[in-house]
Structure 1
Amino acid sequence: MHICHVNLASGFSGGEQQTLQLIKQQLAMGYTLTVITNPKSALTEKVSSLGCKVYPTSHFLFSHNREITQDCQAIHVHEGRSLYWAMIQSLLTKCPYIVTRRIDNPLRNRWLLKKGYEKAGATIGLSQSIVNRIKDKLPASTPYRIPSSPVTYPVNKSQVEEIKAQYQDKFVIIQAANIVAYKGFEVTIEAAKCLQKQYPNIQFVFLGDGNLREELENKTKHLSNVHFVGKQRNMGDWFTVADMQVHTSYSEGLGSVILEGMNAGLPVIATKTGGIPDIIDDKKNGELIEVGNHQQLSNAIIKLYESPELRKQYITAGKEKMANFAISNTAQQYEEIYRSL
């Protein structure tokens, strides 16, 4: 099977990780893959190194050629602007396209965007929340729900030891995300304020960068239990060192970093929003809190901190839940959609 994947994001975040994850699995399944990427993204180099035929382009109007998709069964869209590239290419070549939507935002009221979804051979949401968003705008549609799959990262023992030495004897809670408004880092900071005196052994470590990082760092200089370390590439080491993960987003398509942490064996506390409840069954494999409620977060952290047995229970149940998100399962669901076209 020959598939053309399109992801024109300029960065390399969760969506690009998930695109790469699917590409690797499909190569293992014997697919031939063509990939349209943004030359600024690390995805370009990564898929090139895998032997895929890559066409870098910085805009959806560029790099259209009949030869690109003449042997393809489908074009697979992974990111917003990629939809328009696929629409144009499909008009040129009649190659059908499918759209994976990764964000929980309502579809914008734009004629061309709506037309792009209507003309897609299939639409997919990572979570039930995203599926509902698509149906809100396109009531006659029948979107599929296919989740992301957890990425497994390598672990470097020497780096693990270095991190452990930095937080010696601390109970380490990580939050890993872009430090932007909707990720809710200020909620975790308020919880840290509540816990600093009574639980000095608990250490919050924020992994990420973004436009709010400097502001939040300045506001937390007086907090000894909060540490910003910037964006980290060695996530396997951090998942190994951490004792718990929190994720306090105001909105979330699914939460790929939650999948990764849970798959790595961390108990997770996260907000009840977007696709997160697709991952966390409250009080069974993790804890869900209301959006913006730092007191609920504090209480949940204390409960898990004081109960190693409950943490073990959540870790075991979390790993069992991850079987539903295995890349072998999700890749097979995509293959069935490709064939249906």
Structure 2
Amino acid sequence: MHICHVNLASGFSGGERQTLTLIKQQLAMGYQLTVVANPTSPFADEIRALEQCQLVLCKHYTRSHQRSITADCDVVHVHEGRAIYWALLQRLIHGVPYIVTRRIDNPLKRKWLSQLAYTRASTLVGLSSEIVRQITRRHPQANVATIPSSPVQYPVSDADVDAIKAQFANKFLVIQAANMYAHKGFDVTIGAAKVLEKHAPQIHICLLGDGKARAELEKQAQGLGNISFMGKQSAMGNWFAAADLLVHPSYSEGLGSVILEAMAAGLPVVGTNAGGIPDIIKDDISGRLIEVGNPDQLASAIADIANDEALRERLIAGSLEQARACDIRQTALTYQTLYRQVLASQA
């Protein structure tokens, strides 16, 4: 089977990592792959390093529409917002079917081009039940499937893990890892740190990330001794191995790939009852769920997990089971079934 993956993002975040993980698995399964990527993105460098993929560099969705790019491809697989327009044009010009994986739980746009692009897709995939709900609200007649993300596996350096543990020696280390946008709930974590500072001095929180909200968040955390801003991290495997708990108190979230990554690394997790997070965190089974925007609940959940070893072990067992259910091998097989259905419908 020959699949053309399209991701035109300029950055390299969770969506690009998940796309790369699927591509690597499909190569292991013997697929032929073409990848259309933004030349300014680290994603393009990652694809170039794989060698087995045919890489097509594309700065804008209106460019790179030669017939030769998808002449031998069975299906185009879209992974990012602007890429859907590239797939639409390739469909209109050369007749190649495409599917769309949507990763955010925002309402779909009403703009005519967006609606046309979603209407012409053979199948729309949502990472979570909330994303699927948003898709079907705008496109009730569409063929829609739910396929969650798969956790990305990161390398671990024992020396670097030891260094992190030494830096926060004798602390129960809590991490939150995300780009510092308002909807990621870093303010809730800072609020929880204020609650915990006096009553749980053994707990320390590290915020891993950067972004336009950081300066304001640092002001909110001013004077707190139990929270550290560590900046954007490129070696998350070391932090997962060194930490005791991951929190992710987002106000909205498509699914929460970092939650799955922490689960696969054997961490207990706390997340909000928002977006797709409840799809992967079953309260008191594979983690703890709290209400959106509630620092007191977050502080209580952190303290409970820090102080109860039996609870930690039970949540870790549940999180590992959830991570296994989202293993990339199963995800790739699910997509394979979807590709075959698209091909059958074109026959």
1:157-178: CA deviations, max 9, x gaps? 1111111111111110000000
**CA distance in 2: counterparts of 1:149 and 1:128, whole angstroms:** 16
1:286-313: CA deviations, max 9, x gaps? 1000100111111111111110110000
Q: How many percent of aligned residue pairs carry the same amino acid?
A: 54
Matched position secondary structure for 2:199: coil
**TM-score normalised to the size of structure 2?**
0.97
* Count of aligned pairs: 341
**CA distance in 2: counterparts of 1:327 and 1:71, whole angstroms:** 25
Preserved contact between residue 101 and residue 124 of structure 1 (Cα < 8 Å):
yes
1:79-121: CA deviations, max 9, x gaps? 0000000011111211100000000001011111111111101
Letter in 1 for 2:13: S
1:258-302: CA deviations, max 9, x gaps? 000011011101000111011000111110001001111111111
1:1-341 equivalences under 5 Å are 1-51=1-51, 52-341=53-342
Preserved contact between residue 126 and residue 147 of structure 2 (Cα < 8 Å):
yes
C-alpha RMSD of matched pairs (Å): 0.8
Preserved contact between residue 135 and residue 142 of structure 1 (Cα < 8 Å):
no
Q: Which sections of structure 2, spanning at least 5 residues, go unmatched?
A: 343-347
Q: Which sections of structure 1, spanning at least 5 residues, go unmatched?
A: none
**CA distance in 2: counterparts of 1:153 and 1:23, whole angstroms:** 16
**CA distance in 2: counterparts of 1:220 and 1:126, whole angstroms:** 33
Preserved contact between residue 174 and residue 203 of structure 2 (Cα < 8 Å):
yes
Preserved contact between residue 37 and residue 55 of structure 1 (Cα < 8 Å):
yes
Deviation at 1:218, TM superposition (A): 2.9
Distance 1:89 1:142, change over 3 A: closer
Matched position secondary structure for 1:191: helix
Matched position secondary structure for 2:39: coil
Matched position secondary structure for 1:291: coil
Letter in 1 for 2:158: K
Q: Which runs of 4+ in 1 moved over 4 A?
A: none
1:168-198: CA deviations, max 9, x gaps? 1111000000011000100010010011011
Preserved contact between residue 267 and residue 315 of structure 1 (Cα < 8 Å):
yes
